[in-house]
Amino acid sequence: MEKSLHTDDYSVVVALLREIRKTSGMTQVELAESLGQSQSFVSKYENGDTRLDILQLRTVCRTLGTGLPDFVALLEDRLKPTAQKSRARSSSTRR
């Protein structure tokens, strides 16, 4: 398992968080204020410079009006094409 912040899967996580924030009508500043954090906190995780732990992710999701289970379901839907490509590559290299 890769431990880099810059994996394809993690880029899907941050893109989804950014999309949910924008859909909710919040700016980074507004979200940060609601979280009791600085705007740079939001910017850093949206840019993939910082990873959120599970409790931070839960708090961000709740603040944006999305439950963690709903976020994970959306994430899994977005990751399916990536997982399918990965399986296809690995099966073609085994032949």
Report how far residue 60's alpha carbon sits from residue 71's, in angstroms, rounded to the nearest whole number.
10
pLDDT tens, residue by residue, 17-49: 999 999 999 999 999 999 999 999 999 999 999
Report how far residue 35's alpha carbon sits from residue 52's, in angstroms, rounded to the nearest whole number.
13
User: Residue 31 has what pLDDT?
Assistant: 98
- Across all residues in the chain, what is the average pLDDT? 87
| Listed residue (75, 76, 36) closest to 56, CA to CA | 36
**pLDDT more than 70, % of the chain:** 80
Asked whether residue 81 carries a pLDDT value surpassing 90, the answer given is: no
60, 35 Cβ separation under 8 angstroms: yes
Asked whether residue 85 carries a pLDDT value surpassing 90, the answer given is: no
- Which CATH superfamily includes the segment(s) 8-90? lambda repressor-like DNA-binding domains (1.10.260.40)
82, 8 Cβ separation under 8 angstroms: yes
User: Residue 2 has what pLDDT?
Assistant: 55
Report how far residue 30's alpha carbon sits from residue 8's, in angstroms, rounded to the nearest whole number.
28
